[in-house]
Amino acid sequence: MIVRFLRVAFLVSFGTSSVLAGDQTGPFLAEPYLQLGHSAGVGKLDLLWLSTDADLAWKVEYRPGRHKGWRSTPGPRFRTVRVEGMPPHRVYEVTLRDLPPGSNFSYRVSLGDRLVFESEARAPKSAGQPHRFVAFGDCGDGSPNQKAIAHRAFQAHPDLVLIPGDIVYDRGRATEYRDRFWPIFNADAPSPDAGAPLMRSTLFVAAPGNHDIGARDLGKYPDGLSYFYYWSQPINGPEGREGGPMTSPLVGPESNRLAFREAAGPAFPRMANFSFDFGDVHWTVLDSNPSVNWNDPELRRWVAQDLAIAKGAPWRFVTFHHPGFHSSRSHGEEEQMRTLAPVFEAGKVSLVFSGHVHNYQRSYPLSFLPDAASTRSDFKKDRRVAGRWTLDRTFDGRTDTTPEGVIYLVTGAGGRHLYNPEQQDDTASWKEFTVKHVSKVFSMTVVDVDGQAVRVQQVGAEGQVIDQFVISR
């Protein structure tokens, strides 16, 4: 309610301003949202927002603990997005520091002395603190299903929301974020018909999917690839260079490529892969688009080293968009991420979260040995990966909670139309490694983590639990 009041106050006071004339939503093109920032760290979050390309007297204050006074951040830094097809606008960013891990804190944004936004939020959890996160992919299409899942996620009170790719349809364009992302995941009030005030209060992390960064043609979509300027995630992955094994070249007129590069800054191309710690989990986030060659020895070494450095963390989870192990007929041939299975096994990964396939699937704990032809380091266009899997069929997540191998989850039922509902009850159509396949309802994954155990529930849009299991160390 308070935000609504502030908006009204803002319009009364600033509605005639030449800078903001015609703007119906106050000073923001997207209201403030929380991110890890390019360098994640304990007690730290970045706050971002979008506004017009005009010099305004922004001020951000926050109270990093219940009994502390208000503290001002240094003036916001910003990057200007000047891409064809939309007015120039700015992505503002400030860093909030010294947040006690896991604490609730308040922040407020002012223009001059006038308050224009305020919210409560939760600081990231650190090692030793139990936490809950929610994961769902393939979400940002503006549909009623997306709104219902956003609202359901809000009701779960997560410490973290994870999107394993296909953040915004159809092409991850800046213009598409306006209708299909910000208003729903950062709505002013929670409602199953509208969405929820999630992004202002809860850290969001995303892996880029094919709809986000697969299309490289900036001639066709000058405002495409906006993942690289609207998200602020760690820049600690492999460096990558255009045309190399990690990054296919940008396409389109030079002026469009230049405009994109200026908007993205250091985030392109490196921010497509990164890692971070949250609570007792070390997360590795990867770009699974088929243009990336995960058979490249250097890229594989980066994943292996990232997991090895994190070996002291109680849990190691990985997320990327294209699942290596799933049973749907749709996208059945896209097995390219299977080649990393041995790296995950060596790195003692427990869970892998993907999307791309718009339903929910769980594998048996498994290990996988790809055959030699599938792991040649030169780029392989065929996305099939043959090999042999070994399944732990004794793990049931109730009486036996110690999996032998990696459990692969598909949680791609976050809003976009569902895939292959006819396969839910047709167990004969499932691959041997699939133990659960729910493709008739929209759903999200709710995970409660502590240092000893992880409890996973798959929750439908109506709140029904459609799968659950526990893993223990």
Residues that bind Fe ion (CB under 5 A): 166, 209-210, 356
How many Cβ atoms are within 10 Å of 69's Cβ, its own excluded? Answer: 8
How far are the Cα atoms of 60, 76, 141, 208, 297 from residue 73, in angstroms, in the given order? 6, 8, 34, 30, 42
Kindly tell me which of 28 and 325 has the beta carbon lying closer to Fe ion.
325
As a whole number of angstroms, the distance between CA 78 and CA 91 comes to 5
| CA atoms within 13 Å, Cβ hemisphere of 302 | 21
Q: Are 117 and 75 in contact (CB under 8 A)?
A: no
Nearest to 138 by CA among 165, 172, 162, 160: 165
Kindly tell me which of 133 and 320 has the beta carbon lying closer to Fe ion.
320
CB of 322 to Fe ion, least distance (A): 7
CB of 416 to Fe ion, least distance (A): 8
Kindly tell me which of 202 and 210 has the beta carbon lying closer to Fe ion.
210
Q: Are 370 and 385 in contact (CB under 8 A)?
A: yes
How many Cβ atoms are within 10 Å of 311's Cβ, its own excluded? Answer: 10
As a whole number of angstroms, the distance between CA 194 and CA 211 comes to 23
CB of 209 to Fe ion, least distance (A): 5
Kindly tell me which of 172 and 365 has the beta carbon lying closer to Fe ion.
172
Q: Tokens 């009623």 belong to which residue?
A: 144
CB of 66 to Fe ion, least distance (A): 42
> Helix H segments across 122-235?
144-155, 174-180, 182-185, 210-213, 227-230
Kindly tell me which of 313 and 385 has the beta carbon lying closer to Fe ion.
385
Q: In the complex, which residue's CB is closest to Fe ion?
A: 356
Kindly tell me which of 171 and 356 has the beta carbon lying closer to Fe ion.
356
